Amino acid sequence: MSASDDVVVVDARRLLCPMPVIRVQNEVKKSPPGTRIRAICTDPGALSDIPAWARVNGHKIIATESGDDEHIITLEVGEA
């Protein structure tokens, strides 16, 4: 994990779902509300799973970007 431009980056490349979701979940647990987390994934399943996980747990999806091999999902941590 690293922080750049006030966004915490979760590298979930090569991981298959639900591992990218678990990595994001772990980062969310230690982050205060308002923190932005950007997950970089190669499993296209993350494009549906991370937003679904965010919705049910009260976090906000800011953006999703999808390339040929990598998918980037940015969310904002909601209130606990």
Partner 1 sequence: MTKQYKAAALISGGLDSMLAARAIQEQGIYVEGLNFFTGFCVEGHTHAIRKKDQNRPKRNNALWVAEQLGMKLHFVDVIEEYKEVLFNPKHGYGAHLNPCLDCKIFMVEKALEWIKENEFDFIITGEVIGQRPKSQRKETMPVIARESGAGGLLLRPLCAKNLPATIPEQEGWIDREALFDFSGRTRKPQMALAERYGFAEYAQPAGGCCFLTDAQYSVKLADLWKSRGTKAYELDDIMLLKVGRHLRPKPEFKVIISREEGEGKFLQGYKNQYVSLKTTSHAGPLALLDGQLEPGDLELAARMVARYSQGRNAGQVELEVREKDGTTRTLSVTPLPPGEIQKGWLL
Q: Looking at the annotation, which residues are catalytic?
A: 17
- Classify 30 in phi/psi space as left (phi over 0), alpha (psi -120 to 50) or beta: alpha
**Binding-site member from 21, 73, 75, 77 for partner 1 (CB under 8 A):** 21
Report DSSP state, residue 50.
H
- Cβ distance to partner 1 smaller for residue 14 or 30: 14
- 45 touches partner 1 by CB under 8 A: yes
> Which of residues 18, 40, 61, 64 is near partner 1 by CB under 8 A?
18
Q: Assess 78 for contact with partner 1 (CB under 8 A).
A: no
∠ at Cα 29 (27, 32), nearest 5°?
A: 95
